[in-house]
Structure 1
Amino acid sequence: MPALPDGEGVPADGALPGWVRPTGASDGGRPFGVYVHVPFCSVRCGYCDFNTYTASELGGGANQAAYATTALREVSLAARVLDDAGLGSRPVSTVFFGGGTPTMLPAADLARVLRGIDDTWGLADGAEVTTEANPDSVTPESLRVLADAGFTRVSFGMQSAVPHVLATLERTHDPRRVPDAVTWARDAGLDVSLDLIYGTPGESLDDWRASLEAVLATGVDHVSAYALVVEPGTKMHAQVRRGELALPDEDDQAAKYELADDLFTAAGLGWYEVSNWARGPEHACRHNLAYWRGDDWWGVGPGAHSYVAGPSGGADDLGGTEGIQGSQGVEGVEHVEHAGVRWWNVKHPRRYAALLESGASPGAGRELLTPGEAQLERVLLGVRVREGLAVSALDPSRRSAVARLVARGLLDGVAAVRGRVVLTRQGRLLADSVVRELTP
């Protein structure tokens, strides 16, 4: 698992810097989401570097049965911190339970956490509430409990429909169960997304096509497809280093992305973010869009990250940083403007639970973003979505790069004429390179 970032300390009470306090109605009206991290898995997959734990890894003091109660303690702390910062009156637009495998908890526990979030802030009209799940971690009954509690979406970690690919990834579910799980979720009234991974060692193009066709056969309205990234410290990384597994080359990855885009597009699923396709805007994952658009969110759970923009820091259309307040009086940050604060919790469930039980914040560290840093992140994230971002959101020194990127076929020329930075498909394949040319 990756180490937490470096950063300054979080106050014991979790208080936010004074400069995040809203200066006008628009600041207090920024959309607000809640992420709930459930760190439990039945087994650890060899490629996974998320902050997750199996029963044998947890050790004493990390009680899975008590996790809902622990998470609700952080919700109560979050309410106090946001109230003190003048940001506590906003209803929650989106909630996302991720992991780990959230559905390793009883559905009643997930429902209780959602009810606590609703009781604390209120869910906005039409709020999106998603849980991730493994196909073998749900039943028709558990999905009905979730739907009745207010969940609106479920995102199944399918990853592949091919047994030998799943075996390499160390996924434990039977791929034949996926269509049943999709049917159960839809019968319960839930929207359904399927998550795929491409580029697993040993996966052929035909294997990948079989997975894509299996997804489309279910008729789901949302699909995520991510290229496998083998992170240092994972079991798979060690296998690759020892020569036991061979990673595909960039051409193989590109061919698989293009095949996915071709098949999804032909089936009526349009891309709205580099790795995500939906049948229409109403089926896009609004919670993830909130991240890409720089909205505020609170992350509940061990290792979870949170973000709150400074006044006017969540500028519309990713353009400009006018009106962002200075941070005079913030200890150690004299006369430096800031556009937002990001913080993260301690990683281990045992330590996380102990801090909250003692009344302390579980925050492990935080960083205060300058306007320049926030601008860089807005470009990095904004380029990835289909609507792109305004050319005016770029640093003036980098706007001339737009014409060069259009000439190379990486940005849409018609969109550029209209003042938008929008990736072509080739640009999606080279999104990191595009960002490097658009940022100082």
Structure 2
Amino acid sequence: MTTTLPILGQTPALPADPSMLDDAARATVPGTPFGLYVHVPFCATRCGYCDFNTYTSDELGPGANRSEYAGTAIAELELAARVLGPELPTISTVFVGGGTPTLLPADDLVAVLDRARQLFPVADDVEVTTEANPESVTPASLATLRAGGFTRISLGMQSAAPHVLAVLDRRHTPGRAAEAAREARAAGFDHVNLDLIYGAPGESDADWDLSLQAVLDAPVDHVSAYALIVEQGTKLARRVARGELPMPDDDVLADRYEQADRVLRGAGLEWYEVSNWAADRAARCRHNELYWANAHWWGIGPGAHSHVGGLRWWNVKHPAAYATRLAAGEHPAADSERLTPADVALETVMLGLRLRDGLPLTALSDAGRARAAGAVVRGLLEPGPHDEGRAVLADRGRLLADGLVRELTD
């Protein structure tokens, strides 16, 4: 049974009719930054901490295996062009995530990008990113991706300590991530990011320092570092529940974050979002900045989320169900919501406050502005930007950002 959505109207037989995007949303399409997200749901193995919508089996039903996936993703891309037309937005960013996108042949990823270029206008300086596990790329595959238009790669390093990688169920060897970064640079990628996770059970201060130094020894201009979160339903959560592993310690996580910030800033990488550091403005991930600005994006793939003009929807999760809907000419969305003014206001604060550029105080209520003044006194917000009308997190405030968002929006 096909779910009826605001973007779909009442006629499942015509899922790509442009009139199904309502007038209020359609009016915002021209002139609003627009990005594509392409979700590749396949992984060779499931990491113990991961709760993303991923699948380890190649064969998940007709249309759901790796060999057919690029064609299925292109079918949704073609649907997106019909729904968003006739005045199509210009693609400013493309982000291929997962899962492990580079489990697909590089030619398949390039084919999806090529079809996007055929269907949509594309900015001359478009940023095109793929995520990758270090063991899933080779010099040859990286060269194909770069020649096909990919400009940026984000490699999942997580740690340089072998026992930490083992706890996280990562398959690559400690030095492979830096090696893959060097291969990406040699292939001509403009920007290279390494992802880190800190606070894993058994990780020591020395282990974390080793990981940070390994990052700095690689030719990267961007680093992401995230605290380990024990997500319910994961293998890691079950191990913690059984007492096999301890729950990450909040004080240790704070220490790790401060250590990362100190080391990365000392090497010339400045934070621009609470968990992200870049060598300069050009090295920032523009696709993520599009999310943080609550601009427009269409998410291709099972479980992918989209947002256009205050309408947000998300696709069915299972790759077989996703492929079946598209093969039948149906929209793959599972459900949707229209953001209320209160939702938009809350997300503006929640996302904007995490950014180095900060948040205009005018985005806060009178009560929120009063609390922001108090946060300056407590050392959570920078006094200079506050005097100029912006709420910008101080170093201590970054450690307490989530709580401060709640405080300023209650």
Compute the TM-score of the two structures, normalised by the length of structure 1: 0.88
Displacement of 1:57 = 7.5
Give the CA deviation at 1:397: 3.0
Please, which of 330, 339, 352 is the counterpart of residue 382 of structure 1? 352
**C-alpha separation in 1, matches of 2:172 and 2:257:** 24
**TM superposition shift of 1:250:** 0.9
| Secondary structure in structure 2 of the residue aligned to 1:28 | coil
SS state at 1:58 partner: coil
Residue matched to 1:159: 158
Deviation of 1:58 after TM superposition, in Å, equals: 3.0
Q: Within 5 Å, which residues of 2 pair with 1:55-66?
A: 55=57, 58-59=60-61, 62-66=64-68
Aligned to 1:274: 274
* CA distance in structure 1 between the partners assigned to 2:130 and 2:140 by the alignment: 15
The 3-state SS of whatever aligns with 2:257 is: helix
Q: Which residue of 1 aligns with 2:93?
A: 94
Cα distance, 1:10 vs structure 2 = 6.0
- Judging changes above 3 Å, is the alpha-carbon distance between structure 1 residues 123 and 8 closer, same or farther for their aligned structure 2 residues? closer
SS in 2 for 1:37: strand
Deviations 1:67-100 (A, max 9, x none): 00000000011011111xx6x4221000000000
Matches of 2:399 and 2:157, distance apart in 1: 23
Partner of 1:42: 44
Amino acid at match of 1:22: A
Q: In the superposition, relative to structure 1, how do residues 298 and 202 fare at CA in structure 2: closer, same or farther (>3 Å)? A: same
Q: 1-side partners of 2:59 and 2:377: how far apart?
A: 52
CA contact (8 A) 2:143 2:187 kept: yes
Instruction: Provide the residue aligned with 2:25 in structure 1.
Output: 20
Aligned residue number for residue 371 of structure 2: 401
Quote how far apart the aligned CAs of 1:16 are: 2.5
Which is worse superposed, 69-78 or 392-401? Answer: 392-401
SS of residue matched to 1:175: coil
Q: Measure, in 2, the Cα distance between the counterparts of 1:56 and 1:109.
A: 15
SS at match of 2:175: helix
Give the corresponding residue for 1:363. Answer: 333
Aligned to 1:413: 383
1:31 is aligned with what amino acid? Answer: P
Q: Is 1:71 aligned to 2:41, yes or no?
A: no
The 8 Å contact of residues 185 and 219 in structure 2, kept in 1 or not, is answered as no
Q: CA deviation at 1:60?
A: 5.7
Taking a change above 3 Å as real, the CA distance of residues 72 and 45 of structure 1, as seen in their structure-2 partners, is: same
CA positional deviation for 1:154 = 0.6
For 2:246 and 2:5, how far apart are their aligned partners in 1? 40
- Is 1:124 paired with 2:123? yes
Separation in structure 1 between the aligned mates of residue 134 and residue 397 of structure 2, nearest angstrom: 33
- Which residue number corresponds to residue 252 of structure 1? 252
Count of matched residue pairs: 399
C-alpha contact 2:192 2:219 (8 A) present in aligned 1: no
| CA displacement, residues 49-71 of structure 1 (integer Å, 9 cap, x when unaligned) | 00000016835652210100000
Per-residue Cα deviation, 1:190-213 (whole angstroms, up to 9, x for no partner): 021000000111111111111001
Q: Is the 8 A contact 2:6 2:22 kept in 1?
A: no
The DSSP-based 3-state class of the residue aligned with 2:217 is helix
Partner of 2:316: 346
After TM superposition, which residue ranges in structure 1, 4 or more long, deviate above 4 angstroms?
Answer: 6-10
Residue 316 of structure 1 corresponds to none
Distance 1:92 1:376, change over 3 A: same
Structure 1 stretches of 5 or more lacking a match? 1-5, 310-339
Tell me the amino acid that sits aligned with residue 21 of structure 1.
R
Cα distance in 2 between the residues matched to 1:9 and 1:81: 12
Contact persistence 2:349–2:405 (CA under 8 A): yes
CA-based RMSD: 1.6
Decide whether the 8 Å contact of 1:9 with 1:364 is kept in 2: no
Contact 1:7 1:366 in 2 (8 A): no
Partner of 1:372: 342
**Cα deviation, residue 174, structure 1:** 1.1
CA distance in 1, matches of 2:337, 2:367: 26
Does 1:182 find its partner at 2:184?
A: no
Conserved in 2, the CA contact under 8 Å of 1:153 and 1:192?
yes
Counterpart of 2:276 in structure 1: which amino acid? N
Query: Quick one: structure 1 residues 44 and 115, their matched pair in 2 at CA, closer, same or farther if it must change by over 3 Å?
Result: same
CA distance in structure 2 between the partners assigned to 1:46 and 1:56 by the alignment: 19
**What is the aligned partner in structure 2 of residue 236 from structure 1?**
236
1:119 deviates by: 0.8
Does the aligned pair in 2 maintain the 1:10–1:364 contact within 8 Å? no
In 2: Cα distance, 1:283 partner to 1:210 partner: 24
Instruction: Tell me the TM-score normalised to structure 2 length.
Output: 0.94
Q: Any idea what SS the aligned residue of 2:299 has?
A: strand
Contact 2:382 2:391 (C-alpha < 8 Å) held by counterparts: yes
Contact 2:63/2:69 (CA < 8 Å) preserved in 1?
Answer: no
Distance 1:353 1:60 in 2: 8
- Secondary structure in structure 2 of the residue aligned to 1:225: strand
Query: Residue 39 of structure 2 contacts residue 302 of structure 2 at CA under 8 Å; is this kept in 1?
Result: yes
Distance in 2 of aligned mates of 1:81 and 1:271: 37
Give the secondary structure class of the aligned counterpart of 1:271: strand
Could you tell me which runs of 5 or more consecutive residues in structure 2 were left unpaired when the two chains were aligned.
Answer: none
| AA in 2 matched with 1:408 | R
Identical residues among aligned pairs (%): 56
For the residue of structure 2 that corresponds to 1:55, the secondary structure is: coil
Aligned residue number for residue 286 of structure 2: 286
Aligned to 1:147: 146
Shift of the alpha carbon at 1:22? 1.1
State the match for 1:313 in structure 2: none
* Contact 2:194–2:220, Cα closer than 8 Å, also in 1: yes
